[in-house]
Structure 1
């Protein structure tokens, strides 16, 4: 598996509109727009930082994974995403090593990326996303 870089940090927020000002006004980052990913019950907003990004995540449903995360742990960093060269090969390698996966195969993520999540039980409690763009 070849990890190319940290692609983004996912931050769970109750409202992108209410929380974006810290990132844009205080830190001077540029919001590049929002996108709703219906399959994941989430609206995302990306703010580039060099070669990586901050991804604000707002749930579109009380039953969505981001809403459940906020309910349990509050707002804050929800996941770290690594960009990989080939996501299918990366998942196969991790599965072969006995790493617990949430996604056995990639799914569609924001911006047309192919994504897959590793189970936090295998990563010391950190939700890790792999993405290929």
Structure 2
């Protein structure tokens, strides 16, 4: 079951400059940041009430985030829903015929994640995340 909006992802050309707005000016607390090599991004999660903002800076121009930045100059990239069972949600989506990007969950900054294809979701990139227990 989808529990809540975990975060919204925002593509930025420069993570540090973006942090100066979201963290320093708005006062959102940094939850975690990392270089996610298999996704080709530098990323940061910032707490916004019960949800989070994920800032994504592409490390390479040819991945999805890099192409998004080149086409759109940054901005709102995806919406992520939190679940306690990302594999189950992915299976249910597959059974309903929803076009998927990921065929199985994979590690990401928000935990175990997977993406649904925007062609199936009326143009919105949708992510499911199962946060890791800390």
- TM, length-normalised to structure 2: 0.92
Instruction: Please provide the CA RMSD for this pair.
Output: 1.2
- Deviation digits for residues 87-131 of structure 1 (CA, Å, limit 9, x no counterpart): 1111111111110000010011015x1100000000010000001
Q: As a proportion of its length, which structure holds more strand?
A: 2
What's 1:41 paired with? 40
1:95 aligns with 2:117: no
Name the SS for the 1:79 alignment partner: strand
Runs of at least 5 residues in structure 1 that lack an aligned partner in the other structure: none
What's 1:119 paired with? 117
* C-alpha distance in structure 2 between counterparts of 1:79 and 1:10, whole Å: 5
Q: Is the 8 A contact 2:105 2:113 kept in 1?
A: yes
* C-alpha distance in structure 2 between counterparts of 1:126 and 1:83, whole Å: 16
The 5 Å alignment of 1:72-83 reads 72-83=71-82
Residues 88, 33 of structure 1: alpha-carbon distance in 2 compared, 3 angstrom cutoff: closer
- Deviation digits for residues 59-112 of structure 1 (CA, Å, limit 9, x no counterpart): 11122221111111221010000011211111111111110000010011015x
What's 2:70 paired with? 71
* C-alpha distance in structure 2 between counterparts of 1:93 and 1:125, whole Å: 20
Q: Is the 8 A contact 2:13 2:73 kept in 1?
A: no
* C-alpha distance in structure 2 between counterparts of 1:101 and 1:46, whole Å: 24
- TM, length-normalised to structure 1: 0.93
